[in-house]
């Protein structure tokens, strides 16, 4: 039965003559497949324009979305009618998204109107793919490009694997984060290749997130991997159990970063570990910033109240484009605790001196090779 549904889906999409028809056909095919356990929706190796679509569960059983071709979003943001997504998978268990195809967000027009980097406020812009309340699922071997906003947003998900995903956007594209994760647990990202806007992370982790592992991620351009920013809003939930293992960062504007806002509500981030990572010409390779205040959008009257603890940076090697290769600036209100810095070898390749390491309101446990010597510079 599932095979028959796949054939019907291919036929529907091959006959598409307009964006609205494509959206209707995909929604109809999804509903039919969702009603039968073990079904597959197949989109053949052609290029299709697609409007906003919600692929909703729960389904009768496991279901696969198999994209072989290219889906293109509409360029005009107005056509999204205020929606914050283009393709949304919601409330599905045992979902597979696969096929080697491309989700092309066609974000060029939207980027021209995005002023978030200047004002830290913005109108709603659509994310390429949202995964909301998706469980026990896998996303593998797909490509995403040129999203109007984030490429992948993971919210309220549990036990989700993201493997062999490629994400690309130009270095000057605003707010094109690769993968953002919030209020989710047991998320694994493996062998992803992510290059985004220079000022935005390859992977960002928001509040309420536990047990995330990123293995062998290739990042650049972009802002590296960022935990936070945390503490901007009331009632944020703790972050814990974050592991970044292996991978290569190239020409990113940050490397491994934990950032929290000053003058913020109570919060916590703990059990965060980074190891065996290569840095190639990376600015700020290792950074804890508890005074994060972009474009003076916050009050610095009081220190951050987000408690950071049980953090390690181990076997981080390569080259830096900034002199300050290790910068651990913790809160004077709740100083960082249980921080480990081990086997760091980061060389500054620019002019004007040697690499430096700064530690404020933290006394890390230091072991192994240290280039530069840990905590020898004063802020």
Identified catalytic residue from 198, 199, 207, 289: 198
What's the 3-state SS for the chain? CHHHHHHHHHHHHHCCCCHHHHHHHHHHHHHHHHCCCCEEEEECCCEEECCCEEEECCCCCCEEEEECCEEECCCCHHHHCCCCEEEEEECCECEEEECCCEEECCCHHHHHHCCHHHHCCCCCCCEEEEEECCEEEEEECCEEECCCCCCEEEECCEEEEEECCEEECCCCCCCCCCEEEECCEEEEEECCEEECCCCCCCEEECCCCEEEEEEEEEECCCCCEEEEEECCCCCCCCEEEEEEEEEEEECCCCCEEEEECCCCCCEEEEEEEEEEEEEEEECCCEEEECCCCHHHCCCCCCCCCEEEEEEEEEEEEEEECCCEEEEEECCCCCCCEEEEEEEEEEEECCCCCCCEEEEECCCCEEEEEEECCCCCECC
198 carries an active-site annotation: yes
The yes-or-no answer on residue 180 being catalytic is no
Q: 66, 151, 180, 223: which is the annotated catalytic residue?
A: 223
Residues designated catalytic? 198, 223
């Amino acid at each position: 039965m599932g095979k028959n549904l796949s054939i019907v889906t291919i036929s529907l999409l091959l006959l598409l003559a307009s964006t609205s028809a494509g959206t209707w056909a995909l929604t109809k095919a999804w509903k039919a497949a969702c009603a039968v356990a073990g079904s597959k929706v197949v989109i053949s190796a052609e290029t299709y324009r697609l409007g906003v679509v919600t692929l909703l569960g729960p389904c009768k059983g496991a279901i696969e979305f198999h994209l072989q071709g290219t889906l293109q979003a509409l360029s005009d943001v107005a056509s999204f009618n205020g929606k914050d997504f283009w393709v949304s998978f919601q409330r599905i268990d045992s979902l597979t998204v696969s096929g080697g195809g491309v989700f092309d967000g066609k974000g060029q027009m939207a980027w021209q109107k995005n002023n978030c980097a200047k004002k830290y406020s913005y109108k709603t812009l659509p994310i390429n793919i949202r995964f909301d309340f998706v469980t026990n699922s896998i996303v593998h071997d797909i490509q995403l490009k040129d999203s109007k906003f984030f490429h992948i947003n993971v919210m309220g998900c549990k036990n989700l694997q993201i493997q062999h995903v490629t994400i690309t956007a130009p270095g000057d594209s605003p707010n094109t984060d690769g993968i953002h994760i919030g209020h989710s647990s047991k998320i694994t990202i493996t062998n992803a290749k992510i290059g985004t806007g220079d000022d935005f992370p390859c992977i960002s982790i928001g509040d309420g997130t536990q047990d995330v592992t990123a293995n062998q991620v290739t990042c650049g351009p972009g802002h590296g991997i960022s935990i936070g920013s945390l503490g901007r809003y009331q009632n944020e939930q703790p972050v814990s159990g974050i592991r970044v293992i292996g991978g290569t960062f190239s020409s990113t504007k940050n490397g491994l970063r934990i950032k929290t806002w000053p003058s913020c509500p109570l919060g916590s981030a703990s059990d965060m570990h980074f190891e065996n990572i290569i840095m190639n010409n990376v600015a700020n390779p290792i950074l804890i910033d508890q005074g994060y205040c972009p474009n003076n959008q916050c009050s610095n009257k009081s220190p951050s109240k987000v408690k950071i603890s049980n953090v390690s940076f181990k076997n981080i090697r390569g080259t830096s484009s900034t002199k300050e290769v290790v910068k651990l600036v913790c809160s004077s209100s709740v100083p960082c605790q249980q921080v480990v810095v081990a086997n760091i070898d980061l060389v500054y390749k620019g002019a004007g001196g040697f690499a430096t390491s700064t530690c404020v309101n933290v006394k890390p446990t230091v072991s192994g090779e240290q280039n530069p010597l840990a905590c020898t510079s004063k802020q």
